[in-house]
Amino acid sequence: MTILQLHDVAKSFGEGSQRVDAVRGVTFAVGRGEVVALAGPSGSGKSTLLALAGALLSPTSGAITVDGKDITRYGARARTRYRRDRVGFVFQGSNMVPFLTARENLLLVGEFGGIDRSALRRRADELLEKLDLAGVRDQIATRLSGGERQRVAIARALMRDPALLLVDEPTASLNLELGIRVVDALVNEVHVRNKACIMVTHDDRMARRADRLVEIRDGQVLAG
């Protein structure tokens, strides 16, 4: 079953001689329980495509559907709700609140949207256990290793049970061993929880751990 579908999506910035076509006529889909690695050189449109799928940007043309709903038709409030409830973001840096513990960082995200606090605590503990972080749940963020912080970031992205995970270079600051652990944890959670995931990466070793590779050059998808 398809969760995310992009159909002939384009995104341009500027006008006239200053116009830049960052994404040009992109069409592809991501299914439930699938991790798609999005690869390409710097400036190829990877991050723009991720921002479009996450409704951080609106396309110049084309349609983007998530669970059959065209998010390009959403107004500002609906887009905010979509990002809050349907998308989990994982960025290059873990972006944790440094003076909070691993568990508190998860609970902070979950509090937006009126979820019962006891249910939030159970979900946070479940995710930390699944990602082999139960032993550091009460450690403040500054005392966690790079790999632990990135796994906390994955757990945080899953707190609201999103349909779609959008992951931007999650291993950029990690060594190979830690990078593999982080990506394997991400892939496992997507498979077990039946989510859809796009993972931007420049590392072929990480891309090979995904279910499928999509290559993008000059704003256009070449394979996948």
pLDDT digits (tens, 9 = 90+) for 97-129: 889 999 999 998 766 666 678 888 898 998 898
- 26/35 Cα distance (integer angstroms): 18
pLDDT of residue 78: 95
Q: Indicate the domain borders of the chain.
A: 2-93+146-223
Q: What is the pLDDT of residues 151-201, one digit of tens each?
A: 888 888 888 889 999 999 887 777 888 788 888 888 988 999 899 999 998
Contacts of 166 (CB under 8 A, 6+ apart): 50, 53, 54, 87, 88, 89, 90, 197, 198
Asked if residue 23 has pLDDT above 60, the reply is yes
Report the residue count for the chain: 224
Q: What is the CA radius of gyration of the chain?
A: 17
Which two tokens mark 123? Answer: 């979900």
- 164-168 sheet: strands from edge to edge: 87-90, 164-168, 196-200, 34-39, 212-217, 220-223
- Residue 138 — very low, low, confident or very high, per pLDDT cuts 50/70/90? very high
Compute φ and ψ for 174, nearest 5 degrees.
-115, 155
Domain spanning 2-93+146-223 has what CATH number? 3.40.50.300
User: What DSSP designation does 136 have?
Assistant: G
* Reported pTM: 0.87
Q: Which residue has the higher pLDDT, 12 or 43?
A: 12
